Structure 1
Amino acid sequence: MGKNDKKTMPEKPENLFTEEMFLNSLLTVPENAEGSLKEQEGLQRDIKYKMKVLQTILYLEVPDLILSGKECDEEKGKKLIEEKVENDELLFGYTFHVSSNPEFKRNWSYMRKQLDKYAAFLFGAKRFFEFVFRDVKALIGILQGIQDVHVVFDGLVDAAYSDEVPCVRTKMLWEHFHNLTHAWRGYYKVSVMVKETILVVCDCSYKNGTDKLCEKVKEARDNFGL
């Protein structure tokens, strides 16, 4: 049998869901927002600004070392982001402009001090999305094929699984965008649901791999006979 006659092994489902697909889906503007007309108008008005914040986080260039969970690597990641912030002249110009407003009592020194916290926020948020992408892929083989199953990460990202292509559809829950400010905590909640019914809630840490999460989800799936 020649080389060209060999059967091509089918691609694993988790390999068909790429990081590019993940990022693009998160940056999709919702077509049908829930809530009253006033709430929908408010969401659409704010969405372009939230989108810019999310783009800044998702496309922040930081080495994969932030996935290690080690404190020494965490500090290296934060340092890299701090350098990016400190080299952003436009950002310093903006803080000066905002602080010149009498409402801020012209306190530019306070604004500059917040830049350290801003770098920590960027690091925490970037790390959160890196771990969400990792977990979403890890759960494909466990949840694919279960009707109406979806997973919510810290009330911020919703991942719906199916047998279709793509096998996962993720979206931002824009109404909970403020949850991003908690990304520095070092842990996050993963809620596995079928429609509105919660099957299991898992407390995950950035220091953990995916084994513990996968085992809990498998156990919940089997307990519910799915």
Structure 2
Amino acid sequence: MIKVFLVDDHPFVLQGLESYLSTQDNIEVIGVSQSGREAIEEIKRLKPDVATVDLHLGDISGIEITAQIKKEGIGTEVIILSSFSKDEEIIAAIDAGALSYLMKDSPPQKLVEAIFAASKGEPVLHPRIAKKIMKRATGKDLSIEPLTTREEDVLACLVKGKSNKEVGEELYISTRTVKTHVSNILKKLDVNDRTQAVIKAIDNNLVKR
């Protein structure tokens, strides 16, 4: 039986999580708390196998709770369950010792899977979070849709500051075709103009400087 402690400052969310998890085989919710400081003391006392912790609470953050739990060395694995996915908060939570990070829009079954995985010391990450962590590790934004070879050629010309006419002359294509490629590049990079495209291309090593 996996012993779980739940931390969330929204009563409705907390009750929903407790009710759902109580229907699952081999999972026992041994405590809940709406207060971060209270949660730390209760987790130290009850020593659950897994704690699901909301990132933003009324008193202290889920990052602080995670750090305190890990500092105690009681063996409780932490799953951050949040509505937020700011890069700096994700990295801070993982650095503090959180094993898994799920968004609250994840299917309920995903949390169950994460709890079972956490009981074995195995991480589970929301796909959006996994991309952010990989972006940090590789320096590349993995959410960028791949460009075609010709789009890469056009983008390389944009980085050099060339106009549509100059791009067409260099690549032996019409200005109209250049405009089509530029439009596709902006969509794939999710930017509004050529300048933003150039900045994103350089930041993510999409072209050689």
| TM-score, normalised via structure 1 length | 0.23
- Structure showing greater radius of gyration is 2
| TM-score, normalised via structure 2 length | 0.24
- Structure in which a larger fraction of residues adopt helix: 1
Structure showing greater relative contact order (alpha-carbon pairs closer than 8 Å, 6 or more residues apart): 1
